Structure 1
């Protein structure tokens, strides 16, 4: 079976072969790709957008293709149709697997697959159309509307980000409308797909996590930094870092040693003139919120971490917080769970499928930082509870994210798509 993946980032050997930077957030794709490239009877090729595309390169594991694409939410770049047509012609896939719904190239890929009668599977990840409905994450209206002159010039205000997401959501709706087969992971994305593209066939599969999270590491209250909390990123409002920061004054009344760590790109910056100029509207809001709550020594931005450093940060944390106003399958929640780290998560989107309240973690009302604080303090004050939550969470995650089972499920879905009406001739030619 010849499979062509369209991903949003370079994976596998491609960054080294093509001289591009490896995206630290794509480790789960690398892990999944490694499994497929080692599977007998499956030949995988990968295509992805690159600022400066290069000719196809064949490595030890796959052939890699690159094509030019543009920023999120903007019109497709010229020449993209011919580029993708050439890739499809060269790869000669039996099936195309498209990861993500929001990028410029997705609509082009699906249209060409229809034209060339190539079976295609569209995998839902973050759903932009839904995210735009919850993007501001309970921010005050004045923050959403605020934009300084540098923000307007650099297009970094909250409204600019929302406009980009909304435009990407329109592309996503078009892509879902073209898809005959969609792949999802949660009740949330199944509901969204059924309403946006009711005629498409929905296929369910669980996610495979980044490779490093399948080791023997286990969280322990005796080995973590007590009373520390972790949020995985704060780059956009819907991730809810401001909710976690707002909960800190409540937590500090009972646990004055508590510290909130925030991973990912730092939206606040160092305070230098250049970083202040480039700071987004949301970054300004976080900066002022930290100052107003007197939390300058209690909120620490640790930067973008690779998968090994992120694993270590989870294990050092007493509680992992997922504060998003919307999520689909939260890989961060799943990574924390498989390590046995106690989780407190907002009751939103696909996260509702990942946490059983009081069993594998705690849910809280997303716009209620006082409830986040309550459940975090419950864990801080009771090691037995923390261990029970972590143990149950790990047991669930080990089963849910089993790599071999998930690989088998994806291959089963491929075979189902290949045997679906309209593709019978491709099956006989491709297998």
Structure 2
């Protein structure tokens, strides 16, 4: 029996359900659901999943023990009680990861870190392309922010810098790391120079593997572009807004759909205050108005897995425009459905798709002309992007193959434990 303990910052749907909590639906950690399900076929694997949540609870389902704790104070006694052979920490930038790593190492337990993003690079590129005037807030607005939190970009930058520092400190002493792109491998060479790097791809949410696939529609002058996130500048909404006039010159009724809430608006009296407290949204709103494209931008509201899947199917082009990414799950999901994708050449994107084969990659994330040209390549292709969509699905089915990824992960566990014995 191989006893493994996972630490996950997010609340997994399986954990919530097993522990009888109300948030048993599509919650924040749902991207790990497929990996957990695929591991069921390994009877020699005894898995305890520890989630950080709002309350303390425990339960069991499908042979997996779930524990939810509100803080890291339970880590040491939990390790002593569970006696795992290995601790697998998903993510590297949060406080609980550091506490767990220290507790495990103090007990002589090997620790495997799974790289998610690379906070060093995310912090460096957080506000790329946003004018300086929106990136700095005065003392008054920081005072307001302490009472009613907003999204001040200088505060956000400090938080990202702090997370990057925590990640760097944690990885500096890491011995075992798993990642999935050339980008994170290079980052680990710099940040975790003493670690052994294991490649292992991610398994995505189950609904994206089966069911109806994307197919081209007759969009005439009204194609739909879909952006999965646009609430903070790293996701680069501002550049697609700048690209919209060139798209509208060819397709006058084109629409940009953005997953998530629209900018908050509580009427004319509060609008100046809200705009100050949410400077990135203010910038995008003003930019869209200046360019005359505001009427072509629509927010969907928050989407669970089923609704996100449907949003993909109703789009004509998927956009992943971030200034920094490792291997975004949203891009993998779009590829699994066969939706033609346009992505920036940031981070690990080129490890997920090949330009001109499974989608289109444009160079500088901030180059609106190159972005518009890449979008128009899809919209003006005779097949509406069907060929690159089929190629994208074929590659994604390989990259995100649940059984293969579960095999790889178990082999990583076995290799580490064997090395620890020698």
- 1:18: how far off? 4.8
Q: Partner of 1:242 in structure 2?
A: 238
Q: List gaps (5 residues or longer) in structure 2.
A: none
Q: List gaps (5 residues or longer) in structure 1.
A: 70-79, 426-431
Q: 1:151 to 1:370 in 2, by over 3 A?
A: farther
Q: Partner of 2:204 in structure 1?
A: 209
- 1:271: how far off? 4.5
Distance in 2 of aligned mates of 1:103 and 1:300 = 33
TM-score normalized with structure 2 length: 0.92
Q: Partner of 1:281 in structure 2?
A: 279
CA contact (8 A) 1:110 1:179 kept: no
Q: Partner of 1:192 in structure 2?
A: 187
CA contact (8 A) 2:56 2:70 kept: no
Distance in 2 of aligned mates of 1:207 and 1:224 = 33
Q: Partner of 1:115 in structure 2?
A: 106
- List per-residue Cα deviations over 1:204-247 (Å, max 9, x = no partner): 01111111011032211127795110000012111111111111
Q: Partner of 2:381 in structure 1?
A: 382
Q: 1:285 to 1:231 in 2, by over 3 A?
A: same
CA contact (8 A) 2:12 2:27 kept: no
Distance in 1 of aligned mates of 2:366 and 2:379 = 22
Q: Partner of 2:165 in structure 1?
A: 170
3-state SS of the aligned residue for 1:13? Answer: helix
Distance in 2 of aligned mates of 1:41 and 1:412 = 12
Is 1:128 matched with 2:124? no
3-state SS of the aligned residue for 1:419? Answer: helix
Distance in 2 of aligned mates of 1:6 and 1:14 = 12
Distance in 1 of aligned mates of 2:60 and 2:310 = 34
CA contact (8 A) 2:356 2:388 kept: yes
State how 1:229-378 maps to structure 2 within 5 Å: 229-266=225-262, 268-272=263-267, 277-278=273-274, 279-364=277-362, 365-378=364-377
Count of aligned pairs: 410
- 1:345: how far off? 0.5
TM-score normalized with structure 1 length: 0.90
CA contact (8 A) 2:216 2:384 kept: no
Q: Partner of 2:421 in structure 1?
A: 424
Distance in 1 of aligned mates of 2:330 and 2:62 = 31
Distance in 1 of aligned mates of 2:352 and 2:305 = 21
3-state SS of the aligned residue for 1:349? Answer: coil
3-state SS of the aligned residue for 2:67? Answer: strand
Cα RMSD of the aligned pairs, angstroms, is: 2.1
CA contact (8 A) 2:10 2:28 kept: no
Distance in 1 of aligned mates of 2:212 and 2:65 = 34
Q: Partner of 1:13 in structure 2?
A: 14
